[in-house]
């Protein structure tokens, strides 16, 4: 990789890390500003339209390349083009309409009546799916062995269903319509890999590995971050029924997986997560306002 000369060494350490082992030192990623960019990237005028700032491939790639060229990637850190168009893009492929803001994306529920809900299905003509594919295709074309192109933050399970159904509605459905929940979760789990596999074909490297944009991870096979932020609002019993079975299936179909455990309200599910043998790693983030994971506290 032209912008990461020691990438082969970094890949070896990361592969060993996934096995729970260590080489000459721990795997460590350090990103710092360069005194001078490694390559001069011209600045493009940002689109006036907020949606285009998220979806225009040329602008997104230009913005990412300028940031990467001005950064030093030490240890196992590496340059990559983050292709996400919101945290939870899978929901937009399945019918939810996004609401773009400057820093994040929210989703409008699309399942109004669960009693008349049609099965979720793959739609090759979905607007947001076509935009996502174009963003990745153009990213690969522009990368020219300088950087990796990341898998977008698809998200799965109850988090995706919450975007499709609405969080408050979904909380009621857990008690009132458990069969509806399980049916949709089965569909979401299968559809996750319909979309993941299509994008994986575009971004996989020479060893079959891929970068996953969220949390800057790379593994020497199908690699992804998995999560259930919705679990902050449910009991361990519900987590065991509505999250664990589908998470186990998802992790079994991935070669390398890391669970994003978000906030102190989710720690109560840690015991159940540790029992999922198919899950390789767990990453924890305290919620906003708490000391970060690097704090001595």
Buried b (16+ CB within 10 A) or exposed e, 205-216: eeeebbbbbbeb
* 50, part of any domain: no
Q: What range does the domain containing 103 cover?
A: 84-285
Whether 97 maps to a domain, the answer reads yes
Establish if 72 belongs to a structural domain.
no
Percentage with pLDDT > 70 across the chain: 100
Decide if 170 is inside a domain.
yes
Q: Are 241 and 209 within 8 A, CB to CB?
A: no
Q: Confirm if 90 and 191 have CB atoms less than 8 A apart.
A: yes
Residues 143-177: pLDDT tens digits?
999 999 999 999 999 999 999 999 999 999 999 99
Would you state the pLDDT for residue 295?
86
pLDDT at 182 over 90: yes
Q: What is the pLDDT of residues 17-74, one digit of tens each?
A: 999 998 899 899 999 999 999 999 999 999 999 999 999 999 999 999 999 999 999 9
69 lies in a domain? no
Q: What is the CATH number of the domain that holds 111?
A: 3.20.20.210
Burial (CB count within 10 angstroms: exposed 0-12, middle 13-18, buried 19+), residue 274: exposed
In this structure, is residue 26 part of a structural domain?
A: no
What's the number of domains the chain is made of? 1
Assigned domain for 103 exists: yes
Who's near 129: CB < 8 A, 6+ residues apart?
92, 93, 123, 195
Q: Are strands 281-285 and 97-100 parallel, antiparallel or unpaired?
A: unpaired
β-strand pairing of 210-212 with 223-227? unpaired
Is residue 75 in some structural domain?
no
Q: Residue 287: what pLDDT? A: 81
User: Is beta strand 29-33 parallel, antiparallel or unpaired with respect to 71-75?
Assistant: antiparallel
pTM of the model: 0.95
Which contacts qualify for 58-65: CB closer than 8 Å, 24 or more apart?
A: 58/138, 60/135, 61/138, 61/139, 61/142, 65/39, 65/41, 65/142, 65/146, 65/147
- At a CB cut-off of 8 Å and minimum separation 6, what does 202 contact? 133, 136, 137, 140, 149
Position of tokens 């983030």?
Answer: 285
pLDDT digits (tens, 9 = 90+) for 65-84: 999 999 999 999 999 999 99
Bridge partners for 33 per DSSP? 71
CA count, 13 A, side-chain hemisphere, 35: 0
């Amino acid at each position: 990789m032209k912008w990461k000369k020691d990438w082969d060494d970094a890949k070896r350490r990361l592969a060993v890390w996934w096995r729970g082992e260590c080489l000459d030192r721990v795997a460590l990623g350090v990103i710092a500003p360069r005194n001078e960019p490694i390559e001069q990237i011209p600045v493009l005028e940002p689109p006036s339209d907020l949606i285009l700032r998220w979806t225009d491939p040329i602008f997104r790639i230009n913005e990412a390349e300028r940031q990467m060229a001005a950064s030093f990637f030490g240890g196992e850190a590496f340059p990559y083009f983050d292709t996400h168009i919101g945290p939870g893009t899978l929901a937009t492929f399945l019918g939810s309409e996004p609401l773009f803001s400057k820093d994040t994306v929210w989703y409008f529920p699309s399942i109004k009546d669960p009693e008349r809900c049609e099965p979720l299905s793959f739609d090759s003509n979905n607007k947001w799916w076509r935009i996502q594919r174009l963003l990745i295709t153009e990213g690969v074309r522009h990368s020219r062995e300088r950087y990796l192109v990341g898998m977008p933050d698809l998200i799965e399970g109850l988090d995706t269903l919450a975007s499709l159904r609405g969080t408050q509605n979904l909380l009621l459905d857990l008690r009132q319509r458990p069969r509806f929940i399980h049916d949709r979760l089965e569909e979401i789990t299968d559809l996750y890999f319909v979309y993941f596999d299509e994008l994986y074909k575009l971004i996989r490297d020479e060893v079959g590995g891929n970068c996953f944009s969220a949390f800057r991870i790379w593994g020497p096979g199908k690699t992804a971050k998995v999560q259930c932020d919705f679990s902050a609002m449910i009991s361990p019993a519900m987590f065991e029924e509505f999250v664990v079975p589908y998470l186990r299936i998802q992790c079994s179909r991935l070669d390398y997986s890391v669970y994003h455990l978000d906030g102190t309200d989710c720690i109560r599910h840690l015991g159940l997560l540790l029992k999922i043998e198919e899950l390789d790693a767990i990453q924890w983030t305290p919620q906003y306002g708490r000391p970060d994971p690097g704090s001595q506290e």
